[in-house]
Amino acid sequence: MPPVIELRDVHIAFEGHEVLGGIDLAVLKGEILTIMGGSGSGKSVLLRLLAGLIKPDHGEIRIEGTDTVPLNEDQMLTFRRRMGVVFQQAALFDSMSVADNIAYPLHEHARLDHTAVQQRVAELLEVVGLPGIQAKYPAELSGGMRKRIGIARALALNPALVLYDEPTSGLDPGNSKMISQLIAHVAATFGTTSIVVSHDLFWSLRISSRVALLHAGQIIAVGTPAEIRTSAIPEVQAFLAGDLH
Q: What is the pLDDT of residues 61-108, one digit of tens each?
A: 999 889 999 998 888 888 788 889 998 776 888 999 999 999 998 887
What percent of the chain has pLDDT above 70? 98
Which residue ranges make up each domain of the chain? 93-158
Among the residue ranges 106-110, 158-162, 201-205, the one predicted with the least confidence is 106-110
Spatial distance between the Cα atoms of 160 and 187, rounded to a whole number of angstroms: 10
Judged against a pLDDT cut of 60, whether residue 244 lies above it is answered with no
Taking Cα atoms as reference points, which of 183, 192, 176, 124 lies closest to residue 152?
124
Taking the model in full, what pTM does it have?
0.90
What integer is the mean pLDDT of 44-54? 90
Spatial distance between the Cα atoms of 121 and 101, rounded to a whole number of angstroms: 9
Spatial distance between the Cα atoms of 21 and 203, rounded to a whole number of angstroms: 28
Structure letter (DSSP) for residue 138: G
What pLDDT, on the 0 to 100 scale, is given for residue 39? Answer: 76
Q: How far is CA 74 from its chain centroid?
A: 22
Spatial distance between the Cα atoms of 20 and 216, rounded to a whole number of angstroms: 8
What pLDDT, on the 0 to 100 scale, is given for residue 228? Answer: 94
Predicted confidence band of residue 44 (pLDDT cuts 50, 70, 90): confident
